[in-house]
Amino acid sequence: MKEISLFLLCCDCGDCVPPEHKFFAKFKIRIKDQINNENHVEKTEKHWFTACSNEWGFSHFMPRKDLLDASKGLLMNDALIIEGEIIVMSNVK
């Protein structure tokens, strides 16, 4: 594995939501720099989430070697901090 992948899953878009219900969201996924708290790795995307398309993300979020580079401070004591920020831009029912 040479790349780290991260995806966002909409839990409310499963079987209990009608197929015509959808929402448009802008989201950020970030891996935090635990040493300096300033060199986070972050990506932003927009997506229409529906019952059929309830996940979206990045299959190539970052190179694995960058995650394992101790000087970057992303992986500390076998733990990393992943944050997500979601803004719903439009909601269609």
Q: Which helix (H) or strand (E) holds 50?
A: strand 41-50
Neighbour-count burial of 36, counting CB atoms closer than 10 A to its CB (0-12 exposed, 13-18 middle, 19+ buried): exposed
Measure the CA dihedral 17/10/23/93, to 10°: 10
The CATH number assigned to the domain with range 3-92 reads 2.60.210.10
Percent of the chain with pLDDT over 90: 51
Supply the pLDDT for residue 82: 95
DSSP-based three-state secondary structure for 43: strand
Supply the pLDDT for residue 64: 95
Which pLDDT band, with edges at 50, 70 and 90, does 8 fall under? confident
Q: Could you read off the pLDDT of 35-66 as tens digits, one per residue?
A: 988 899 999 999 888 777 777 889 999 999 99
Supply the pLDDT for residue 28: 93
State yes or no: pLDDT of 87 exceeds 80: yes
pLDDT (mean) for 1-30: 78
